[in-house]
Amino acid sequence: MKYLIVGLGNIGPEYAHTRHNIGFMIADELVKDLDGTFSNTRLAYYAEVGFKGRKLHVIKPTTYMNLSGKAVNYYMQELRIPIENVLVIVDDLALPLGKLRLKLQGSSAGHNGLKSIEGLCGGQGYPRLRFGISDNFGRGQQADYVLAPFDKDELPELPGLIDKSVELIKSFVTIGPAKTMTAFNQ
């Protein structure tokens, strides 16, 4: 069994520790945990790691968030991975900080990275790990909020939440989405 794990984010040091880049942070920790390394390849940073007999192809698109679908579509086709074996890791304003939600499909909810994937990969029927980043911003401040680093009071929680996300991904690829949702969706 092979899977495509997609961490969404933006490339560049100015985005490295921002809320919008939580997908990159989780992908980095997953690959590190499984003793892999990323290389810069076509449209993405790419790593291939194994876990309990499964092959995980992990990408961090270098297309910037709004064009993420280009990289996802390329790797789905190139590696012949069916849509149900693609897991997209995305920040979510509608969830409190650190709340994790595995969903098998759904709308983009206005998220430009997900809109791009929907448009280029055949719709909304792909699994996603939604990582809550909260919505603690004033009217008209959404872009500034998601592109800002996590607050100092949020930082101590982050490593544990990222580790929990990695465990969710490992569960998804081994015991499947239904049991993983039961175990992790609160």
- DSSP three-state, residue 87: strand
Task: Exactly one of 17, 20, 57, 111 is catalytic; name it.
Answer: 20
pTM equals 0.95
Known catalytic membership, residue 17 = no
pLDDT reported for residue 30: 98
- What residue segments make up the domains of the chain, in order of their start? 2-184
Domain over 2-184 is classified CATH 3.40.50.1470: yes
pLDDT (tens digit, 9 = 90+) per residue, 106-145?
A: 888 889 899 999 999 888 889 999 999 998 888 888 889 9
The beta strand positions in 8-70, using DSSP E, are 39-41, 44-51, 54-61
